Structure 1
Amino acid sequence: MNIINLLTVGKIILNENTPSRTTKFEHYLIPYYQRGYRWDEEHVHALLNDVHAFMLSDEKKYCLQPIVVVPRADEEGNNIWEVIDGQQRLITMNIIFNYLNRPRYSIIFEKRAKSTTFLKELSSETYEHDNPDFHFMSQAFLLVKNWFEQKTQNDVGYIDEFNSTLTKKVEVIWYQIEELKGIANNEIIEGKKIDIFNRLNIGKIPLTDSELIRALLLSKVKHGLTEREAVLRQAEISNEWHRMEMEMRDEKFWYFINNKALEETSSCIEFIFNLIAQNNNKRYSTYLWFEKEIKSDNPEQERLTAMNLWNQTKDYFSKLKHWYTDSHLYHHIGFILASGDNSIANIKKIIENSRTAKSVFNKWVFDEVKKELSHININSLTYEKSKPELKKIFLLHSILLTASLKSGRYIKFPFDLFKKVENDGGWTIEHIHAQQSKEMKDEKAIRRWLQETYKAVEEISSIEKYSNVGAEKHENIEVSEELKAGIQQMLSSAKIDVNKFNLLKTELVQIFDSESVHLLDNLALLSKRGNSSLSNAIFPVKRQKIIEMEKEGIFVPLATKNIFLKYYSSSDLQPYFWSKGDKTNYFEDITKNLQPYLTQY
């Protein structure tokens, strides 16, 4: 089983557990399949400056990135570590210790004996640039030399303090792959080593916190067990780990609790580890928290702590899964996380409150939604000043409408689709009826507007505009054949007269304009990409586009879809116009559904 530990840098130079050899200092083998040393000024200075900053800080520990090794034996049978990941850091620290004239480990390059000798004998007198290894090693030594000369100008004790800090306080994550321990020329083992190296280096994918935590837990839970019991315990954890990972990788589950794109997530279970740990968002901070919690001089205590942390992981997963399967919790918590604070701290706060009785927790979640809307007066929202508030109102409206459905394409609000749009351009507030907008001048955009408009109005001969809500009195507005012919004539012209087009556009907009201002009853939620395709369009064009988007499987929030499918219309005589009655019915539907949450209603 793989071994994972935190080791001070001094321990990777001289480890008391290393078997005796002529030179007891550790030996590291850089295998043939790795490229040579390539750190430049930026990398070398970053390492030096990080240690310097840590030395001057009040922090007790500083951790470098992982060093991944496989135990091997050299030609004389002595222990040597084959480096899978961490070559650049190991060589740079070797050069630093060389310049400081302090004890250091040995670096051996497999099949590059000249590089081994050059690094061992490197000094200000041996700079050479005949090959890449020599060039970058020489450059690194010079950078180290100049950096320390500057630091020691007024501090004769600086080198001693720096060396003590680096060897005694700076740690590395030591990842020892025991499962690949074997004969060096075994083709299967060599292939696995190369696969790991490629994943860590060529793909630029470092070890994740979850991979490190997995190795840590599996290495600690076997203490005091027989070999068979240890294998069974580790297999049990591995199976539970796999089940949770696969369930969380379900997009519907993942996006319910998380805004981060799933394809950017190498390990979903790491999300739970971040919830458990006192995370400070620094790299490997979650693993370091687990390592600190487990670490003890008593192996039995380490086993118990590791099992407790694993049981806590399962408990957190169970809570998240319960939220996902319970309709009330799913839609209310989903709204909180989609519209408000999606931070680890906020989700952990919800978890802590979930430890109360079910009825108490359900009410708490309900009150948290009310809190999200507590500052909103639904009667005073405007397009110009209230876009964030409008987004919350429209999101909750669609969530509640979806939750009330008994059957259909969605019976749970699809937070996965909502957040995918959020990650791909985001959401915006769209006017429902045609707006008087700036003149259009781009001929390509004008032709597209004319084509879409003609397609939408071709079969419309007139529309009915009701003079007042609930009254039978109405006026019939003609969409004349002459107007349609004018659209066709412009489309057939080699060059469009921009002024004539904008006059035609104004006439069409006035026909389909319901004389509304930028208030809630004339606004809806739509993706920015969808909104850009509907910009400047009259209502029947928008309606047709929404229908096409729905047919193509493009996500449109239910409340928005209801608008353009005329769900709020009391008559089917005017499906191409957003009337005063439609607006009133739409506003009333929002207030009816959201009234329990609107403290200012």
Structure 2
Amino acid sequence: MLGSNTLCTKSIAELKNHHFLIPDYQRGYRWEQQDVTNLLDDLWQFSQAQGGQPFYCLQPIVVRRRMPDAQSPAAWEVIDGQQRLTTIHIILTTLGITAPYTIEYQTRPDSAAFLNSMQQDKADTNIDFYHMFEGRRAVAQWRGRHTPQACAAITRMLQGADEPDARIIWYEVDARENAIAVFTRLNMGRIPLTDAELVKALFLRDSNFHNEAGRLEQQRMAQQWDEMERVLQADDFWFFLSNTEQKDNRIALILDLVARQWNNGAASAHDAHFTFLSFAQALERVAEPASGDDPCAPQQTCRREACWQAVRTCFLTMQEWYRDRTIFHLVGFMVAIPPRSKGKPAERKSLVSELWAEYRNCHSRTAFHTLLRDRTGFRLDGTILSIGKNAVAELTYDENHPDVVRVLLFFNIATLLNNTSANTRFQFNHYHQEHWDVEHISAMAEKESERVMQPPAEWLRYACRFLSAAGPGVEKEARDLRAEADTLLVQHEPDPQRLSTLVKAVTALYDEGGYGHDSKHRLGNLTLLDRSTNRSYKDSIFPIKRARILDLDATDTFVPPCTTNVFLKYYSPDTDNMMYWRETDRDDYQQAIIDTITAFLKNGKKDGAKS
């Protein structure tokens, strides 16, 4: 039924002589004074801005046409948006302007009369009147704090006489749709109409297609839309472009990239409905000659098809990026890394948008590879590998945590990309969904209680396992500790004192020793671990962590390849005893990180020279 819906933007003036019915399945008016004040502030600030945007966009109003009857002459049933319609009515009348439309409240017939009269002596007779009167009070207070010119600017915007004006997104559902079902969908859990749904309605509305050939074209677009959404629903595809969980309407990412590419001035990129407004303007422009060589620019001779091809081109390019192993890993890395400073969520969208723009300007795929390598943040100054202003070898957990995350994640990426004969890919979806972060390889805890996994039985099972495989020189002590662990394991609740004593003894047996507290914060003692694993074993000793990681790896649970290698002691030439993480292991591991990333950067220079 989506194609039968009507979607457009309307100024408040265009609502002249409209009569709205607020049906009985909706609650009453509930905006607070601050909500009204915020709207007035936004309108005033917008009227003073120099951005050249043609209008201020209010939230969607969802309506259904209804035939007048003996009980009500209402022509429009408001499914969603009564709060905004009522507030605008209050603002206009308080500022001395007659509202162009009327509102009727099905279960509260007196509310329409009160909305027009605003008699203070009746304001406390019911909750709807109270909120309406408080809204009027908020407008009056705002007017008292501002100049007549400010109030005039507000009335001009709401009367729609000149640009910039205020407009609503007018979403008219088909008269045959179940209004209560639509209302429930929009309001149960407050699920608003998304830009993706609004843009889809723009493309597929029936007024675009006038004959059998048009209906076939409409069906083609609908099928292609569904196919794009299906591909984006694959988590391995989605999470190399985004680090946020989003269950539905993932195609919004593609639409946002195209909207940012056009940058047609329809709205600020910070506008809540930036994407929809960009498409609305692109699809409704007056025909004019196309300009520029960008094949994705909206061609005015056939706006709808050109806009649709822009969406398809962007989507197909993202598929090409996904299939290209180098692009997949480098884009996925840049999307995954934390920002150096606290920023807005939109920054990740901006990153992919920037890369998309740079890709279109690259003369070859190899040139784009080189550009991505240059944007990783790593550089070689002679033999010194740096990230930002810091040498990688000098990074510490407490002082350089964001850069440590970058280094450890890129260590995994470089390890995979340096092996050109393999097809293994980093699983960004698991990395994001399971919240992998930096943790210490050897224990940081000072109290034995902080070293015990929860539940303790799991710690005891792991202890029994590695104590049975104790190396030379500690067999008897390990055998005695194993016996104690077996005894505690069969207890329903292990005796706390005996457990604490056991943990202390096992820790002493496997104490790595030979390094200070500061050394434990160095890169050579850090790796990526997932949140649930780290919480389960807290800050246990190396063999406990090793057993846990190897169990995960054995069950095909995602573990970053370099994390597995660390606990297999892959980077340590001395593997006589796998249950210790000594300072020599740390030094070898840290050097492996530096050598691997250095090799990747040098290979990139060779590839760049060839291109």
TM range (shorter): 0.7 to 0.9
TM-score when scaled to structure 1? Answer: 0.80
Partner of 2:577: 574
Equivalents in 1 of 2:124, 2:565: separation in Å? 71
Does residue 106 of the first structure (1) align with residue 102 of the second (2)? Answer: yes
- Seen in structure 2, the aligned counterparts of structure 1 residues 157 and 344 have a Cα distance that, compared at 3 Å, is closer
Percent identical: 26
1:513 CA displacement: 4.3
SS in 1 for 2:376: helix
Equivalents in 2 of 1:363, 1:73: separation in Å? 63
- 1:96-136 alpha-carbon deviations (Å, 9 max, x no partner): 3333442221112235433334434x233562444433333
Partner of 2:424: 411
Answer yes or no: is the 8 Å Cα contact 1:64–1:171 preserved in 2: yes
Unaligned runs of 5+ in 2: 261-267, 290-298, 340-346, 603-611
- Seen in structure 2, the aligned counterparts of structure 1 residues 582 and 93 have a Cα distance that, compared at 3 Å, is closer
Does residue 345 of the first structure (1) align with residue 360 of the second (2)? Answer: no
Superposition CA RMSD, Å: 3.8
- 1:498-551 alpha-carbon deviations (Å, 9 max, x no partner): 9967863552243x5475844444432212442343444222212211123334
Equivalents in 1 of 2:538, 2:189: separation in Å? 41
Partner of 1:470: none
Partner of 1:319: 317
Partner of 2:446: 438
- Seen in structure 2, the aligned counterparts of structure 1 residues 215 and 441 have a Cα distance that, compared at 3 Å, is closer
Partner of 1:82: 77
1:482 CA displacement: 4.5
Answer yes or no: is the 8 Å Cα contact 2:19–2:75 preserved in 1: yes
Answer yes or no: is the 8 Å Cα contact 1:51–1:166 preserved in 2: no
Name the aligned partner's letter for residue 562 of structure 2: A
- Match of residue 375, structure 1, among 383, 386, 397: 386
Answer yes or no: is the 8 Å Cα contact 2:452–2:539 preserved in 1: no
Partner of 1:185: none
- Seen in structure 2, the aligned counterparts of structure 1 residues 93 and 173 have a Cα distance that, compared at 3 Å, is closer
Answer yes or no: is the 8 Å Cα contact 1:2–1:175 preserved in 2: no
- Match of residue 251, structure 1, among 224, 227, 235: 235
1:297 CA displacement: 4.4
SS in 2 for 1:496: helix
Does residue 546 of the first structure (1) align with residue 557 of the second (2)? Answer: no
- Seen in structure 2, the aligned counterparts of structure 1 residues 139 and 368 have a Cα distance that, compared at 3 Å, is closer
Name the aligned partner's letter for residue 354 of structure 1: Y
SS in 2 for 1:176: strand
- 1:245-274 alpha-carbon deviations (Å, 9 max, x no partner): 1111111100011111133xx311111122
- 1:64-111 alpha-carbon deviations (Å, 9 max, x no partner): 111111222313897812211110111122223333442221112235
Computing the radius of gyration over CA atoms, which structure comes out larger, 1 or 2? Answer: 1
SS in 1 for 2:255: helix
Equivalents in 2 of 1:158, 1:384: separation in Å? 51
Map 1:522-533 → 2, pairs under 5 A: 522-533=525-536
Partner of 1:459: 468
Name the aligned partner's letter for residue 225 of structure 2: W
- Number of paired residues? 553
Answer yes or no: is the 8 Å Cα contact 2:549–2:567 preserved in 1: yes
Partner of 1:391: 405
Equivalents in 2 of 1:210, 1:2: separation in Å? 15
Answer yes or no: is the 8 Å Cα contact 1:434–1:509 preserved in 2: no
Equivalents in 1 of 2:232, 2:488: separation in Å? 55
- 1:458-501 alpha-carbon deviations (Å, 9 max, x no partner): 313434xxxxxxxxxxxx45561445566678888855289967
Partner of 2:46: 54
Does residue 72 of the first structure (1) align with residue 70 of the second (2)? Answer: no
Answer yes or no: is the 8 Å Cα contact 1:439–1:502 preserved in 2: no
Name the aligned partner's letter for residue 75 of structure 1: D
SS in 2 for 1:257: coil
Answer yes or no: is the 8 Å Cα contact 1:40–1:140 preserved in 2: yes
Equivalents in 1 of 2:504, 2:326: separation in Å? 52
Does residue 269 of the first structure (1) align with residue 272 of the second (2)? Answer: no
Name the aligned partner's letter for residue 505 of structure 2: L
TM-score when scaled to structure 2? Answer: 0.78
Name the aligned partner's letter for residue 375 of structure 1: S
- Seen in structure 2, the aligned counterparts of structure 1 residues 244 and 110 have a Cα distance that, compared at 3 Å, is same
Equivalents in 2 of 1:160, 1:447: separation in Å? 67
- 1:561-587 alpha-carbon deviations (Å, 9 max, x no partner): 122234446677533234677556645
Partner of 1:19: none
- Seen in structure 2, the aligned counterparts of structure 1 residues 163 and 544 have a Cα distance that, compared at 3 Å, is same
- 1:173-210 alpha-carbon deviations (Å, 9 max, x no partner): 333325x225xxxxxx3xx2112111222321111111
Answer yes or no: is the 8 Å Cα contact 1:443–1:496 preserved in 2: no
> Which deviates the most, 241-250 or 542-551?
542-551
- Match of residue 227, structure 1, among 208, 211, 219: 211
Equivalents in 1 of 2:131, 2:331: separation in Å? 54
SS in 2 for 1:256: coil
SS in 2 for 1:354: helix
- Seen in structure 2, the aligned counterparts of structure 1 residues 564 and 452 have a Cα distance that, compared at 3 Å, is same
Name the aligned partner's letter for residue 361 of structure 1: F
Name the aligned partner's letter for residue 393 of structure 1: V
Answer yes or no: is the 8 Å Cα contact 2:453–2:537 preserved in 1: no
Does residue 294 of the first structure (1) align with residue 280 of the second (2)? Answer: no
Unaligned runs of 5+ in 1: 15-24, 183-188, 464-475
- Seen in structure 2, the aligned counterparts of structure 1 residues 297 and 80 have a Cα distance that, compared at 3 Å, is farther
Equivalents in 1 of 2:80, 2:300: separation in Å? 27
- Seen in structure 2, the aligned counterparts of structure 1 residues 228 and 546 have a Cα distance that, compared at 3 Å, is same
- Seen in structure 2, the aligned counterparts of structure 1 residues 173 and 552 have a Cα distance that, compared at 3 Å, is farther
> Which deviates the most, 562-571 or 81-90?
562-571
Does residue 7 of the first structure (1) align with residue 7 of the second (2)? Answer: no
SS in 1 for 2:168: strand
Partner of 1:593: 596
1:553 CA displacement: 5.0
- 1:392-418 alpha-carbon deviations (Å, 9 max, x no partner): 3322232344454978xx921101001
Name the aligned partner's letter for residue 292 of structure 1: Q
> Which deviates the most, 568-577 or 344-353?
568-577
- Seen in structure 2, the aligned counterparts of structure 1 residues 577 and 96 have a Cα distance that, compared at 3 Å, is closer
Name the aligned partner's letter for residue 334 of structure 2: I
Equivalents in 2 of 1:277, 1:57: separation in Å? 21
Equivalents in 1 of 2:179, 2:455: separation in Å? 59
SS in 2 for 1:52: helix
- Match of residue 197, structure 1, among 168, 171, 183: 183
Answer yes or no: is the 8 Å Cα contact 2:62–2:79 preserved in 1: yes
Partner of 1:17: none
Equivalents in 1 of 2:113, 2:400: separation in Å? 69
Name the aligned partner's letter for residue 136 of structure 1: H
SS in 2 for 1:199: helix
Partner of 1:164: 156
> Which deviates the most, 570-579 or 130-139?
570-579
Answer yes or no: is the 8 Å Cα contact 1:428–1:528 preserved in 2: no
- 1:119-173 alpha-carbon deviations (Å, 9 max, x no partner): 34x233562444433333344334444544x247xx5666544322322244233
SS in 2 for 1:462: coil
- Match of residue 92, structure 2, among 88, 97, 101: 97
Partner of 2:434: 421
Partner of 2:170: 175
- Seen in structure 2, the aligned counterparts of structure 1 residues 318 and 340 have a Cα distance that, compared at 3 Å, is farther
Map 1:121-200 → 2, pairs under 5 A: 122-124=117-119, 127-148=122-143, 150-151=144-145, 155=147, 159-168=151-160, 169-178=164-173, 180-181=174-175, 189=177, 192-200=178-186
Equivalents in 2 of 1:5, 1:290: separation in Å? 11
Equivalents in 2 of 1:125, 1:554: separation in Å? 66
Equivalents in 1 of 2:18, 2:332: separation in Å? 53
- Seen in structure 2, the aligned counterparts of structure 1 residues 125 and 310 have a Cα distance that, compared at 3 Å, is same
- 1:259-296 alpha-carbon deviations (Å, 9 max, x no partner): 11133xx3111111221223622211222222233333
- Seen in structure 2, the aligned counterparts of structure 1 residues 226 and 165 have a Cα distance that, compared at 3 Å, is closer
